Structure 1
Amino acid sequence: MSADRQPKSAEIVVANAVKVFGTGTAAVAALQDISTTVPEGQFLCLLGPSGCGKSTLLNAIAGFTPLTDGRITMGGKVVTQPGPDRGMVFQEYALFPWMTVEDNVRFGLDIKGVPKPEATIAVDRIVATLGLSDFRKRYPKDLSGGMRQRVAIARILALDPPVMLMDEPFGALDALTRRTLQDELLRIWSEYRKTIVFVTHSIEEAIYLADRILVMTYRPGRIKRDVNVPMPRPRDPASQDFNAIKRELGALVMEEQQRFTNAELHAPAVD
């Protein structure tokens, strides 16, 4: 790498990534020869139907799933395991039910050994940023799904990782709550300028959020199309430009959905 092209701390580079689960006749290729770069501060969406390897790629970037071949680097360092430079938000809220909102948000800071006064300042700031101040003494069971997901995002933001990895975090929410949290996420991204890799199967969500969208193929997962979204924010889903991109992506995703359907129809029966 040349001296004038040093990797930035939150730049992600995926080089010839391959992931195969199982061996022999039971082997399943989840990812095949994926190469891409996510520049620091970019909002990237991984889009595609079930079985296209979106979550597998995200988990490989997180360091949860080792690649079979190829490599992933962040800031020039090879990813071999999870690290504090990457925060993960799951579709399931993954909160500790016996902890209050503020204790859930503080948890990672306590594990890192952050001094209590410093941790309190960080928690207060993040709780206020996400509109959780009135709920800080509540337990997860007392919160709506949308509020629980706010807490999950707050817990990651409190750790201040340069990269946020999000696996369909709004998939289980109703449409109104989903849009509210999408807008909240864009506000946070604009303020903190994290690098975000966001998995979704919703075409409209991908266009609404992303700078760039990678459409993935049905198994084995490859990059079918790399689409830039040049529209300024905020984006109007009713606009002509929005719907032109939606039609383009819809055709690409439906091709892969049909491949998935055909594969399921012709799969051998299992006793």
Structure 2
Amino acid sequence: MLSSVNSAAHAVGNINPASDADVHIHVKQVDKVFGKRGAEVVALKGIDLDIRQGEFVCLLGPSGCGKSTLLNAMAGFSLPSAGKLEVDGKPVSGPGPDRGMVFQEYALFPWMTVERNVAFGLEIRGEPPAQIDGTVSMLLDLLGLKEFRKRFPKDLSGGMRQRVAIARVLALDPPIMLMDEPFGALDALTRRSLQDELLRIWKQMNKTIVFVTHSIEEAVYLGSRVVVLTYRPGTIKQDLPIDLPYPRDSNAPEFNVIKKNLATLVHAEHERFANDERGGLTLD
């Protein structure tokens, strides 16, 4: 079975080392340990990963493999215990305006209208009101929300709330978008609609996106690369470029060959997770 996985990796291409000028996010020998001595949990171990400007990289693996832990380290929310993590050659020491985070839970202010939620970061930054209004109007139009600008989050569907959350991040125009299972709680049709919206935004606005998902199909549908993590401690099991043109057909034979081989990798780690789950602490 291992030979078939290696063949699939070869079929979709090999990762070539990025030049220093191309690297947007540089991760070198990163470890993350939680807990105190004697009760430590190693969430990440020896992570090496270079992400180029404009890539769409999906982090894939079972619960407990450290996908969200790695994303939070990139965001500056929870820094590595060891190793190097840089954005544009500068060490990550905390959150910054060059990295925008989109969460699964939407994280909207319920007392603010859609337009106020989107404008919030710009207001905090002290942008002129006319510029804020122009940016908000452009993004609401881009994401199909202009008819809902005066509504409150409670009046919106889950898909619309996530569009607002994405618009709020885009308003600050970060070159990097970090997305932690943003579509995980949505129904299949809404999820596919937002996946297509995200791909359109990625191409149109030339963002670098790092996207955490449990869904193998979602990873193949979205990613220009899929990075598969092992179960705890999280290490990189496979880093596969997905050399399929956009838009992608999830029923195409080529799509399903890649999906099948990624499933083999992920399911092996899921078995390790299932065997360990009885007495373990899950960190994702």
Asked if the contact 1:7/1:76 (under 8 Å) is kept, the reply is no
In the TM superposition, what whole-angstrom CA distance separates every residue of 1:43-84 from its partner, at most 9, and x where no partner exists? 000000000000000000000001100021001000010000
Amino acid at match of 1:52: C
**Of 39, 55, 67, the match for 1:42:** 55
- Hey, what's the Cα distance between the residues in 1 that align with 2:234 and 2:106? 26
Q: Does 1:7 align with 2:7?
A: no
Amino acid at match of 2:245: P
**Of 40, 57, 67, the match for 1:27:** 40
Look up the match of 1:146.
Answer: 159
Structure 1 residues 40 and 104, CA, compared in 2 at 3 Å: closer, same or farther? same
Q: Does 1:69 align with 2:82?
A: yes
Please report the TM-score for the alignment, with normalisation by the length of structure 2: 0.91
Q: How many equivalent pairs are there?
A: 263
Look up the match of 1:113.
Answer: 126
Look up the match of 1:235.
Answer: 248
Q: Does 1:124 align with 2:137?
A: yes
- Hey, what's the Cα distance between the residues in 1 that align with 2:86 and 2:158? 34
Q: Does 1:57 align with 2:70?
A: yes
In the TM superposition, what whole-angstrom CA distance separates every residue of 1:168-195 from its partner, at most 9, and x where no partner exists? 0000000000000000000000100100
- Hey, what's the Cα distance between the residues in 1 that align with 2:173 and 2:245? 26
Look up the match of 2:222.
Answer: 209
- Hey, what's the Cα distance between the residues in 2 that align with 1:52 and 1:42? 22
Uncovered stretches (5+) of structure 1, i.e. residues with no partner: none
Look up the match of 2:193.
Answer: 180
> Structure 2 matches for 1:179-198, cutoff 5 A?
179-198=192-211
**1:25 Cα shift?**
2.1
Look up the match of 1:262.
Answer: 275
Uncovered stretches (5+) of structure 2, i.e. residues with no partner: 1-18
In the TM superposition, what whole-angstrom CA distance separates every residue of 1:227-268 from its partner, at most 9, and x where no partner exists? 110000111111100000011000000000000011124659
Q: Does 1:93 align with 2:123?
A: no
- Hey, what's the Cα distance between the residues in 2 that align with 1:52 and 1:127? 36
- Hey, what's the Cα distance between the residues in 2 that align with 1:175 and 1:263? 30
Amino acid at match of 1:188: I
- Hey, what's the Cα distance between the residues in 1 that align with 2:277 and 2:192? 32
Question: What SS does the corresponding residue of 2:101 show, helix, strand or coil?
Answer: strand
Please report the RMSD computed on the Cα atoms of aligned residues, expressed in angstroms. 1.2
Amino acid at match of 1:155: R
Asked if the contact 1:62/1:81 (under 8 Å) is kept, the reply is yes
Deviation >6 Å, runs of 4+:
none
**1:19 Cα shift?**
0.2
Asked if the contact 1:63/1:83 (under 8 Å) is kept, the reply is yes
- Hey, what's the Cα distance between the residues in 2 that align with 1:72 and 1:103? 34
Structure 1 residues 98 and 169, CA, compared in 2 at 3 Å: closer, same or farther? same
Identity of aligned residues (%): 61
Asked if the contact 1:13/1:36 (under 8 Å) is kept, the reply is yes
Look up the match of 2:213.
Answer: 200
Look up the match of 1:78.
Answer: 91
Amino acid at match of 2:82: D
